[in-house]
Structure 1
């Protein structure tokens, strides 16, 4: 359903006058006389993901399993993913377990339990356990693979795109001093069609034949663009270029396995779209490529043939890792296909309603397979950080809708919108109405 402008403004007023998210708040226990919400949602049998995506009653039940603030509508869920209640409770139990047992837990049962988590993660992502090394997040995994990649020689080059994650860009730039390589930068075109992206990478690789390592975001955190990883990996491999795929944002949001990427090196987050606690992720190295990444600081805790020697995090908070199983349970109950369909539905719903706004530029294409939940927009001429921060501040201050401004896009900054599994259709309709109601000062061309 696409609302008219009159209907959107009316709905905006109605929503602004009442508590925006109170129905989604989950308390520690159910009200008297009411049963507790089951731990995981039950997906109705035989319902296609696309049809299920539009079932607000079902997704209200999913939302009831998240404890979120009633003070604002959160459409900035790309930073990290809120834990659903069964995961949050498991995390609290694991914090208590660690605090009560201290080093005895770390020196006895933790390693075996972490190995079990590793096996479960590997099964879900479609890898073998000895290709997985648990980390404290996607960034640590990226730094591990970029910094440890040992096939670069002075005079070689490495490459990344303007939309790649800033911390990964920093690590690639660092290789200039560490390995004596050149750093080449690709600009993703706007509009970013599938063919335009493929042509851009093919042209860049042809123009820079000394490139030996390419950083590639499956879904970037600036605009949410999803690129055809498998095809780009193939064209890079044909030219002798290795690829490190950053799948931190895509895994758990999109429906795929590591075989679909066909990459030898990849990084994943567990605390974004898998809903595990902050401080959990993993690196993937295809088994026969392990020797091409150095052991971390010549680590001797594990033998050289064990991928865990590639990550050394010191004494770390293990409660997030111990909770990953609960997050995988919740993810498995819903299924990646249902999650992907719902998030795309919410994204499509608000985007369709704002395309008629004068000067509105949607930076993520509608082309199938090139987007998920994350989509950014800008207004023509409003490209500075101050411009987009003003828009984000207005949405929050007047309409209690939380978004975030993003920079680093060559054509200009933007505002990022990211719904989540607890987001309702009314929430994204509220955003669309608020964007139609932006004051002239925020719309005016700079």
Structure 2
């Protein structure tokens, strides 16, 4: 008995020494010593406390047993499960997954099987120096960097064209930088960064696609497809309203053609820690329900689990303006939690132009996306896994939608009194 007590005292002393060692390490890396993530079993690094409180929590609650690498307190990890490891997942979304232009070109090789000359031109742009003697940028990489800045800071098309013209004059002679936005877009369009403009009824009745593609007036309300001038004269060829559609299937296929991304798309099956904690959507009941109901779908771990998010924004950043533009974003939850919400992997699939929000008619605009999702579920598409170097049949399922309550009412089609009644039943 005495030996058992001595062993427990020794372990207790070692634990207390370990606590002090941890607190010293955390303090040395803390920006604010009064707001350090508490790693006890109850807080799980989700709550920030001062040192005294953390010490008490660790004594009474014990430390989270899964917290082997102190990533929330300044330690760098050598494993892919770290959110701040040497792989750079938590530091910079582009650190590990920054695609080189040459890799992007190789990823679209299959799209040019019938047009090899165009592929060779694209490959040439990816390898050609921006100007003679330049070693840091190729023509394609320079265009991509500038386009990223344009998107990040909201430059107008005219300002971007002027900037390209100025840079072209600043650079040495015989440089390869495009002189206009139009020329730059032609280079990127070859990479498959395309979208489809679908005309829409101004009253949100229909999309001019399929059987309505050639109509000039809406069959429901009779409104002209074309924009009206101030004198109510139809401007033939100028659409009244347009939906911007970015097909997700080609982008899914490109994700699997990237060896690094393809490997991470099965993280939920290969590397996820199953310890009873809800750490990833794969731990959620709805994910497991799909596994039980459709085991053939679940047996292929590369099949995608998706969510879409819809909400209105004011693109002009003017509170006095009622202009409402609706982007529909898609998230791929196969990826690790530190990647699936990164900008690189959040896909814009639909952009519903304003000025009015679609309301309950949002289903009209979702139709192209629904068709592609049905194809991914019922028919599947052929994809190439670059990591495993094999082709396979890719399927996908939409698990969730992410909205605020007004948008949730629009997405479910029961906004108003019916929606309030649904909430009351919940």
Which range, TM-score by smaller chain? under 0.3
Q: Larger relative contact order (C-alpha < 8 A, sep ≥ 6)? A: 1
When normalised by structure 2's length, the TM-score is 0.21
